[in-house]
Structure 1
Amino acid sequence: MTYATVMVSLALDQPNEARLRVAGELAERFEAAIVGVAAAQFVPPLYFTDGTEAQAQIDAGEASVKRRLADLEAQFRAAMKNRGGHAEWRSAMDFPARFALAQARCADIVVSGGQSPAFSDAFSLASPKDLVMQAGRPLLVVPDRASWLDLRNVLVAWKDTPEARRAVADALPMLRKARDVTIVEIPELRDDRSAVMAGVTDVAAWLGRHGVTATARVSEAAENETPAKQLEKVAGDVGAGLIVAGAYGHSRFRELILGGVTQYLVTQTARSVLLSH
């Protein structure tokens, strides 16, 4: 398995430099084609009028969105100019998430920015939370301050769920290029630690048969710390540049309202995250 096509989702009114750098680097590492996508919709003002004046406002608003999409295309092409390989641009006057999700059919992996607000503007931004839930492709979330894709130390946040199993399989091309891979599970208080360790060891053995040497690790269960905080500690301990995890193993509503590991992963700013659902 490899990544033959990388897709990067750009956004209006958001920094795009980091995701462009990482997507371009990813395409180079795997000699992949790269596709840049962006979309936006004009939002009429609340004090909307009618008649000729209304049409003039609509025309002006749509023209502004088209100019900004053209600016994003120019930014994408400038970033990919010296990368080599096939680069393609796709954009539309459309809802960003809907457009990006449709285009994801052409890609092996989708690259997006993170740290989206809790109530993001669906007219100008494809939220990573929507992309990971519906794209049917792994999503690489890149913090705005990332300068490169650091694969020296990769942390696999394991939970024996379909989402986590899918994420590890989707991450195999990157894991094969990593220097050190650590698989960690953060057990709940009632979990049998020996059974948890057996599961993590199974995953390490499976990776070994795919050419990836990985260290199995089980954290201590902690009553006074959330799994997200515990995961952050482990990521710091191993110096992780990338975290691999399943997205929304619990209900998405529960995570969005109460918080959870996925919510933490798409908003933290220290390291890139590969998510699958």
Structure 2
Amino acid sequence: MTYATVMVSLAFDRPNTRRLDVTVKLAELFNAGVIGIAASDFSPPLYYTSGEQAQKLLAQGATLITTRTAELEAEFRAAMQPLGRAVDWRSAVEMPAKYVALQARAADLVISGATGTLTDPFAVADPADLVMQIGRPLLVVPETAGAINLTSMLVAWKDCPESRRAVVGALPLLRKAGKVKVAEIVEDDADHRSAQAGVADVVAWLARHGVAATGFVPEVGDNVAVQLERIATAVDAGVVVAGAYGHSRFREWVLGGVTEHLVTHPSRCALLSH
């Protein structure tokens, strides 16, 4: 398994530098094709208007989207020049998350930026929406991060389908990592022995796929997200691999605490899968 095609989702309303840097690095590492993608839709005004004024606002909005899309395509193509190969660009006047989720069928891995707690759904494909919809692993790249660091990776294990899919989706990266730590955070002492057995199985499974990993199950302690961040810092993890846990409520995605932390307040890259 490898990443034959990497897709990078660009935002209209925030910097894209880090995610583009990471895209170039991974495309070189896996000799992958690259698809750049961006979408935005007209954001309706907060007040009611009609007639000539409404048409004027729609025209202005369309012009802004067209201009910004051209800028993003130019930025993408300039960033990809070191690859020395043809790249693909896709864009649309569409809700970003919906469009990227549809086009993700063409990629093995989707890269997006991290977001804060408040995002404009008309201007950026929120990773919290993407990870639940794309059916592909999602690499979330915070703008504050430097170049992607594969010296050490952390697998945040939980014995559930989402976590299993995340580890499978991360295999190409895990094979490139210098060190891999598999850790499960338990919230009840009674689960400690079971977690140790599960982590040992994952370590053995990874070994059969060419990944040398070690396991760790800490004693019951603080909030799971806090413990996970502490372990990631201790092992100097450049990437955290985790399942994205959540469910739909009134057509809005409600994420678990760890997933929300990894997409809204990341201090390092996170590879997520639902």
* TM-score class normalised by the smaller sequence: over 0.9
Task: Give secondary structure in 2 for the equivalent of 1:216.
Answer: strand
State the one-letter code of the partner of 1:57.
L
TM-score calculated relative to the size of structure 2: 0.94
Q: Kindly report which structure 2 residues correspond to 1:73-222, keeping only aligned pairs within 5 A, or say none.
A: 73-118=73-118, 120-222=119-221
1:237 to 223, 231, 234: 234
TM-superposition CA deviations, 1:9-48 (whole Å, max 9, x none): 0011111100010011111100000000000011232344
Aligned partners of 1:246 and 1:97: how far apart in 2? 19
Aligned partners of 2:179 and 2:220: how far apart in 1? 24
Q: Among the aligned pairs, what percent are the same residue?
A: 54
User: Would you say 1:65 and 2:65 are equivalent positions?
Assistant: yes
Q: Gaps (5+ residues) in structure 1?
A: none
Task: Give secondary structure in 1 for the equivalent of 2:115.
Answer: coil
Aligned partners of 1:162 and 1:147: how far apart in 2? 31
Q: Gaps (5+ residues) in structure 2?
A: none
Residue 82 of structure 1: how far off its partner (Å): 1.5
1:274 to 243, 267, 271: 271
Q: Kindly report which structure 2 residues correspond to 1:21-60, keeping only aligned pairs within 5 A, or say none.
A: 21-60=21-60
Number of matched pairs = 272
State the one-letter code of the partner of 1:216.
G
CA contact (8 A) 1:144 1:269 kept: no
Structure 1 partner of 2:257? 260
Residue 64 of structure 1: how far off its partner (Å): 1.0
State the one-letter code of the partner of 2:269.
S
Cα distance change of structure 1 residues 149 and 9 upon mapping to structure 2, 3 Å threshold: same
CA contact (8 A) 1:6 1:34 kept: yes
Aligned partners of 1:258 and 1:174: how far apart in 2? 25
Task: Give secondary structure in 2 for the equivalent of 1:115.
Answer: coil
Cα distance change of structure 1 residues 267 and 44 upon mapping to structure 2, 3 Å threshold: closer
List, as ranges, runs of 4+ consecutive aligned residues in structure 1 with deviation greater than 4 Å: 250-253, 256-259
Task: Give secondary structure in 2 for the equivalent of 1:81.
Answer: helix
Task: Give secondary structure in 1 for the equivalent of 2:46.
Answer: coil
TM-superposition CA deviations, 1:133-165 (whole Å, max 9, x none): 010000000000122111000000001000000
Residue 125 of structure 1: how far off its partner (Å): 1.2
TM-superposition CA deviations, 1:248-277 (whole Å, max 9, x none): 1x5466xx7796100111123321000000
CA contact (8 A) 2:247 2:254 kept: no
Aligned partners of 1:100 and 1:54: how far apart in 2? 28
Task: Give secondary structure in 1 for the equivalent of 2:270.
Answer: strand
Q: CA RMSD in A?
A: 1.7
